Amino acid sequence: MKKLGLLLCVVIAAGSASPALALPAFKTGFAKKYNMESRVVTCDVCHVPKKDKKEFRNEYGTILATLLDAEQFKGDNKLTGDEADKVIFEALDKAAKEKCNDGKSWEDHIKSGTMPGLKQ
């Protein structure tokens, strides 16, 4: 009976867990594109800290969400390697040219290290 109760708890916990929404390919691609160590780049480059990552993208993340199709980086047929880098880099190039609310381009913020989500 104890085993059945434990099994039931595990099944309920697994079913109620939120799926991971952050895609490592984007974080890794950003670090690679801008020649940064991956430990410097956090999910908060695109997302609002301590919020639901799917619903709470920051200004930069909202731009990237329009340029990237996350489904291309999931599942058995996901893009990987050079193919994934090409798609991600193209989106990052386009996003870098966009201006943010303070009037600067995202490229300016990336180069100056004032980009949200970068550890110093």
pLDDT in tens, 88-109: 999 999 999 999 999 999 999 9
Residue 51 confidence (pLDDT): 76
Q: Has residue 93 been placed in a domain?
A: yes
The domain containing residue 71 runs over which residues? 23-112
Q: How far apart are the first and last CA of the chain?
A: 53
Q: Has residue 81 been placed in a domain?
A: yes
Q: How many domains does the chain have?
A: 1
Q: Has residue 3 been placed in a domain?
A: no
Q: Give pTM, 2 decimals.
A: 0.75
Q: Tell me the pLDDT tens digit for each residue of 31-69.
A: 999 999 989 999 899 999 887 666 789 999 999 999 999
Q: Has residue 14 been placed in a domain?
A: no
Distance of CA 63 to CAs 75, 100, 102, Å? Answer: 24, 10, 15
Cβ contacts of 30 within 8 Å, gap of 6 or more: 36, 41, 45, 88, 92
Q: Has residue 17 been placed in a domain?
A: no
Say whether 99 sits in a helix, a strand or coil: strand
